[in-house]
Amino acid sequence: MPTVHFSPNFRRHVACPEVAVEGATVAESLTAVFAGNGELRGYVLDDRGVVRKHVAIFVNGEPISDRVALADPVGPTDDIWVIQALSGG
């Protein structure tokens, strides 16, 4: 099962420990996470279900290519990282 991790920035607002979930894509994996933690969904996805602009998602250290449908495949030993992209200067 892929493991989904969240950066500490998210943990300041909502409980989101790392969790191993069933899923063959990023979308399926996140859906499984949100099933047990609905509040977290709004921090990661907008009202259309698209990754928020300030959020970055990586699979095994590589950024996902599909930020709309989240169709990037994941394997049973993959790590999915959801981080808050920081900007400023």
Q: Across residues 37-65, what is the average pLDDT?
A: 95
71 is a domain residue: yes
Question: What is the C-alpha separation between 62 and 46, in angstroms, rounded?
Answer: 22
Q: Indicate the number of domains in the chain.
A: 1
Which CATH number goes with the domain that contains 17?
Answer: 3.10.20.30
34 is a domain residue: yes
- Domain with 32, as residue range(s), is 3-84
Q: What is the pTM of this model?
A: 0.92
Token pair of 73 as six digits: 């495949």
Intra-chain end-to-end CA distance of the chain, in Å: 38
What's the whole-number average pLDDT of the chain?
93
Give 44 or 9, the one with higher predicted confidence: 44
39 is a domain residue: yes
Instruction: Give the pLDDT score at 21.
Output: 97
SS3 9: helix
pLDDT of 37 strictly over 80? yes
89 is a domain residue: no
Torsion on CA atoms 33, 6, 73, 68, rounded to nearest 10: 80
